[in-house]
């Protein structure tokens, strides 16, 4: 094992989450203006950071110093069937500076196959991943 962390939440959405790394973060419901992060923000942050770090690692392995960008949007939706729950719709948009779209797409797909967060969510029907030209 290279690293492990445990998050403990004892109070639900309006809470403080304690981490075994001696850090903590406040949480709040996404439909309020209360201070704190919500699960949607944490999901978007986790995938954007992990996927972009994997892209950067692949670029570095090619001795390539191009910039890359990953923007992740995480939306909370209510289940259509009898309103019995919720789900996240998560979309990642990636781009790599100076690469033609086809090359960028290949590198992003390789990163997606290696990224730990991508591996966790790859089989989900509520995620999407697209690559666009660098802007």
For the chain, report the end-to-end CA distance as a whole number of angstroms: 38
Are 16 and 80 found together in one domain? Answer: no
| Tens-place pLDDT, residues 77-101 | 988 876 678 999 999 999 999 999 9
Domain of 59? 39-131
Q: For residue 2, count CB atoms less than 10 angstroms from its CB and return exposed for 0-12, middle for 13-18, buried for 19 or more.
A: exposed
60 and 108 fall within a common domain: yes
Instruction: Label residue 117 by pLDDT band (50, 70, 90).
Output: very high
Looking at the structure, tell me whether residues 64 and 11 fall in a common domain.
Answer: no
Check pLDDT > 90 for residue 110.
yes
pTM of the model: 0.94
- Residue 99: is it exposed, middle or buried by C-beta count within 10 angstroms (0-12/13-18/19+)? buried
For 27-55, how does the pLDDT look when each residue is reduced to its tens digit (9 = 90+)? Answer: 999 989 999 999 999 999 999 999 999 99
């Amino acid at each position: 094992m290279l690293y492990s962390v445990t998050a403990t939440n004892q109070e639900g959405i309006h809470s403080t989450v304690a981490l075994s790394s001696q850090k903590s973060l406040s949480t709040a419901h996404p439909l309020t203006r209360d201070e704190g992060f919500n699960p949607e923000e944490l999901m978007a942050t986790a995938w954007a950071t992990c996927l972009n770090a994997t892209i950067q690692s692949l670029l570095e392995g090619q001795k390539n110093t191009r910039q890359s960008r990953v923007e992740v949007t995480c939306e909370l939706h209510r289940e259509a069937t009898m309103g019995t729950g919720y789900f996240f719709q998560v979309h990642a948009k990636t781009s790599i500076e100076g690469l033609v779209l086809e090359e960028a797409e290949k590198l992003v797909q390789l990163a997606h196959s290696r990224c730990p967060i991508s591996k966790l969510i790859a089989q989900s029907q509520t995620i999407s991943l697209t690559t666009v030209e660098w802007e």
